[in-house]
Amino acid sequence: MAQVAGIKVERASTGVPKFATIDLRKHVDFIPLLKEKGVEMEAPIKWTAKMKRAFEEKEYKIGDINNFWDE
């Protein structure tokens, strides 16, 4: 089997394929497939200690869209 640039297959000691590493810059066509499978592509928000402390200090509640003006 020929090697494809940007895809590396790692095999177990028995020779069975176990992992595949794909360079998504070279193979952009895999991104919709990964999103369909549920892979999150955006970087998560990095919460700093200051932001976490601000959430702990403030009181907030989830509003109701039907009673928006009553609160």
For the chain, what is the domain count? Answer: 1
- Confidence at 62, pLDDT banded by 50, 70, 90: confident
Is residue 65 included in any domain, yes or no?
Answer: no
Q: What is the pLDDT of residues 6-61, one digit of tens each?
A: 999 999 999 999 999 999 999 999 999 999 999 888 888 888 888 888 778 777 66
Q: Residue 60: exposed, middle, or buried by beta-carbon count in 10 A (0-12, 13-18, 19+)? A: exposed
Q: What are phi and psi of 17, to 5 degrees?
A: -60, 130
The range of the structural domain enclosing residue 40 comes to 7-58
**What gap in Å lies between CA 42 and CA 48, rounded to an integer?**
18
**What gap in Å lies between CA 48 and CA 11, rounded to an integer?**
40
Is residue 46 included in any domain, yes or no?
Answer: yes
Is residue 67 included in any domain, yes or no?
Answer: no
